[in-house]
Amino acid sequence: QKEVEQDPGPLSVPEGAIVSLNCTYSNSAFQYFMWYRQYSRKGPELLMYTYSSGNKEDGRFTAQVDKSSKYISLFIRDSQPSDSATYLCAMRRTVGGKLIFGQGTELSVKP
């Protein structure tokens, strides 16, 4: 069993839809949670960072962490074609510790 599970998709939605991306994990020691967006043939771009449980909002993006369920989510409101990319969740146990990635979910937003 992988430490972090993420549905690879692909996920296709119409423009304007609300997108929900999710990861589950098995190690309760994870405390730091990140979401990256990666466009084709580019490096991952840090979208959201959350420490421990709770919600964080930045514009159209909301990250949620539920440590009791070992489940993290990224919501994208009013999705745009420019949001089409692969979204990677990542987490680590300690500050400076090794980052463990999910497999990435490929998202396509159709105009």
Partner 1 sequence: DTEVTQTPKHLVMGMTNKKSLKCEQHMGHRAMYWYKQKAKKPPELMFVYSYEKLSINESVPSRFSPECPNSSLLNLHLHALQPEDSALYLCASSRADEQFFGPGTRLTVL
- State the residues that interact with partner 1 by CB under 8 A: 8, 32, 34, 36, 41-46, 49, 51, 88, 90, 95-96, 98-99, 101-104, 106
Cβ-based nearer residue to partner 1, 5 or 17: 5
Cβ-based nearer residue to partner 1, 16 or 97: 97
Taking the complex as a whole, the smallest distance from the CB of residue 84 to partner 1 amounts, in Å, to 15
Taking the complex as a whole, the smallest distance from the CB of residue 22 to partner 1 amounts, in Å, to 16
Cis peptide before 8 (omega within 30 of 0): no
